[in-house]
Amino acid sequence: MRDGLSFFIKHKSLGDKIMKKVVSNIQNLGFTIMNAPSQDSKVKASGIIIDQTLVNGVSEGVAVRLVSGTKKSAAIKLDKQALADLLQAVQEVLAIEE
């Protein structure tokens, strides 16, 4: 029968791997992009928030939120293809804005 700590000590000394330590390096990368301040009192501050979670240097997902005044929309998860499409759309819009 296994007697808890005494079993662990016995098997630990034999080199069996009973306990495993896992260390994760979790980082959150966030960008907040807001419109320039307006002199018009009717125009609220607005923009977009893009958040990415990295675990051990690997992306675990990207979320986008819209900001209007003090309100934030629900987070929308985007995959890599959706992000690439968004980038292309923004580049096309900027080309016309110039």
The series of mean pLDDT values per 10 residues for the chain, 98 residues long, is 56 61 86 89 89 92 94 95 96 91
> E-assigned strands of 1-98?
26-34, 46-55, 58-68, 71-72, 76-78
> pTM of the entire structure?
0.69
Residue 27: inside a domain, yes or no?
Answer: yes
* 48, burial (CB in 10 Å: exposed 0-12, middle 13-18, buried 19+): middle
Q: How many domains, in total, are found in the chain?
A: 1
User: Does 15 reside within a domain?
Assistant: no
pLDDT value, residue 38: 83
Q: What pLDDT is stored for residue 15 in this prediction? A: 56
* pLDDT at position 52: 96
Question: 12 in a domain, yes or no?
Answer: no
Four-residue CA torsion sign, 89, 76, 47, 57: negative
Please tell me the predicted confidence (pLDDT) of residue 68: 92
In a domain, 13, yes or no: no
Domain hosting 40: range is 23-97
Alpha-carbon gap, residue 93 to 98, rounded angstroms: 9
CA-wise closest residue to 34 among 62, 82, 66, 78: 66
Q: What is the pLDDT of residue 4?
A: 58
* Predicted pLDDT of residue 78: 96
Q: In this predicted structure, what is the pLDDT of residue 9?
A: 54
In a domain, 93, yes or no: yes
Instruction: Write down the H helix ranges in the chain.
Output: 5-13, 80-97
